[in-house]
Amino acid sequence: MTDPVWQASVVVPPQAIPVFDEALNDAPGLEVLASSSFEVQDGTFWKIEVLFAPPVDRTMLETRIALAAASMDMAAPRLNLVALPDRDWVTHALRALPPVHAGRFYIHGAHDRGTAPAGTLALEIEAGRAFGNGKHETTYGCLLALDRLGKVRKFQKPLDLGCGAGALALAMAKLWRVPVVASDIDPWAVAVTRDNSRCNHLHPWVKPVLADGFGHPALSAGAPYDLIVANILARPLQHLAPAIAAHLAPGGHVVLSGLLAKQDAQVRAIYRDQGLFLVRRRQFGDWLTLELAA
């Protein structure tokens, strides 16, 4: 009899998903087999589920969850850790991750390779431990924004700031076949983006960069950008507003996501002070995607 697969799960508010997703998926010494997140209680909370190969250190996971909660100034959610019966749980988990249609984009995993409908822009994205496989409302909203922009203009110098798994960088490369800088502060995200760009034969156009903001020479050297996409969180979006505006070409566009509807006015006011004004606003659940233009 084989050792059981372990399933760890926590229930958190939507704005805390990236923090707790990282806490579980980046646990040192543990092998992640599959990871997913989905709405519960009508979107008021989300459940993050991660499948681990044995052995699993419960104390270490609880410590990481407590640290994540402290960073969000919230009470630590309860860790539910159970051993699952002998079964091909990886395949089972993948079946629960159907492809995503976002405008012309068709985002799928390796398990759905070859299923793209005719006329779609297919991208195979394996997020692994990196955020941004098209399933979350923020990534979905950004893909719709890129689909719309792709119908009215060809951008020559786009930037994906906080690329996660690289879905948005790959989408821009797929649309326009131009060099795309894809930056993230997480080394794992940069590695996943690099792997996904090769899998989709887009590596000649996608340049993954490990960078915190615009301090990296690769980001400053590529400026000014005619399109900057930043799918992160409201606080860093506000902090980065002056730098985003400074590195944007005249007449350029900005796509922002990772902010909640209640944060809309505050974020837009900061960007308006930088000379960037709302073109289009999309809301899915509690999450917003904003298109701005200089």
| Band of residue 31 on the pLDDT scale cut at 50, 70, 90 | confident
112: Cβ contacts below 8 Å, ≥ 6 apart:
98, 99
| Band of residue 27 on the pLDDT scale cut at 50, 70, 90 | confident
What pLDDT does residue 143 have?
95
Q: Could you read off the pLDDT of 212-269 as tens digits, one per residue?
A: 889 889 898 899 999 999 998 888 999 999 999 999 999 999 999 988 888 999 999 9
* Residues 149 and 256 placed together within one structural domain of the fold: yes
Pick the closest to residue 183 from 259, 261, 244 (CA basis).
Answer: 244
* Residues 109 and 25 placed together within one structural domain of the fold: no
Q: Could you read off the pLDDT of 53-66 as tens digits, one per residue?
A: 888 999 999 999 99
Percent of the chain predicted with pLDDT > 90:
55
SS3 109: coil
Cα distance between residue 291 and residue 271, in whole Å: 11
Residue 76 pLDDT greater than 90, yes or no: yes
| Band of residue 3 on the pLDDT scale cut at 50, 70, 90 | low
Cα distance between residue 197 and residue 205, in whole Å: 8
- Of 69, 95, 121, the one marking the end of a domain is 95
What pLDDT does residue 1 have?
42
* CB burial string 89-115: b at 16+ within 10 A, e below: beeebbeebebbbbbbbbbbbebbeee
User: What rounded mean pLDDT belongs to the chain?
Assistant: 88
Q: Which of 33-47, 72-86, 139-153, 270-284 has the lowest mean pLDDT?
A: 33-47
Residue 80 pLDDT greater than 90, yes or no: yes
Higher pLDDT, 94 or 47: 47
Cα distance between residue 189 and residue 129, in whole Å: 8
Residue 130 pLDDT greater than 50, yes or no: no
* Residues 42 and 137 placed together within one structural domain of the fold: no
Q: How confident is the model over 181-196, as a mean pLDDT?
A: 90
- Of 79, 95, 111, the one marking the end of a domain is 95
Range of the domain at 217: 100-293
63: Cβ contacts below 8 Å, ≥ 6 apart:
none
Q: How confident is the model over 270-282, as a mean pLDDT?
A: 97
Strands 32-40 and 45-52 come out as antiparallel
Q: Could you read off the pLDDT of 146-171 as tens digits, one per residue?
A: 999 999 999 999 999 999 889 999 99
**Domain count for the chain:** 2
Q: Which amino acid is at 113?
A: R
Higher pLDDT, 84 or 20: 20
Q: Domain with 26 in it: what CATH number? A: 3.30.70.260
Q: Domain with 189 in it: what CATH number? A: 3.40.50.150
Residue 121 pLDDT greater than 80, yes or no: yes
* Residues 64 and 207 placed together within one structural domain of the fold: no
What pLDDT does residue 33 have?
78
* Residues 91 and 123 placed together within one structural domain of the fold: no
What pLDDT does residue 89 have?
47
Residue 126 pLDDT greater than 90, yes or no: no
* Residues 136 and 205 placed together within one structural domain of the fold: yes
| Band of residue 85 on the pLDDT scale cut at 50, 70, 90 | low
DSSP string, 54-77: SP--HHHHHHHHHHHHHHTTSPPP
Q: What is the DSSP letter of 110?
A: G
Measured over the CA atoms of residue 61, residue 39, residue 96 and residue 121, the dihedral's sign is negative
Residue 129 pLDDT greater than 50, yes or no: no
* Residues 87 and 105 placed together within one structural domain of the fold: no
Question: Do residues 84 and 6 touch, judged by C-beta distance below 8 A?
Answer: yes
